[in-house]
Amino acid sequence: MTNRTLYIVAYDVASPRRLRKVLNIVKEFATGGQKSVFECFLTKAEHASLLNKIETVVNVNEDKVFVLRMDPRCRVDTIGIAESPTDSLFFYQG
């Protein structure tokens, strides 16, 4: 299996048009999430591609995008009906 790392991608984009574009880009790579925070299990190449695509859309003077690499040794705490993120054996990208 390809070596993947869990990233949390969060964004705050000022323009509704750019917001839709960033949302669509992040959803290409996401395995789960909601609103403007997503879980993405990425290879190094996918991580670079995600950053490249987002950089072509955002306005660096108005928008914020955080891509946080999670340490695989850390435990993920969940509350309520939340499910811990899991690295699936198969990914569908369409």
Is 64 inside a domain boundary? yes
pTM of the model: 0.78
Cβ-in-10-Å burial (0-12, 13-18, 19+) of 48 comes to exposed
Is 58 inside a domain boundary? yes
The parent domain of residue 10 ranges over 5-69
What's the pLDDT tens digit per position in 38-77? 999 999 999 999 999 999 999 999 999 999 998 877 777 7
Is 23 inside a domain boundary? yes
What is the domain count for the chain? 1
- Among 28, 26, 47, smallest CA distance to 37 is for 26
Is 40 inside a domain boundary? yes
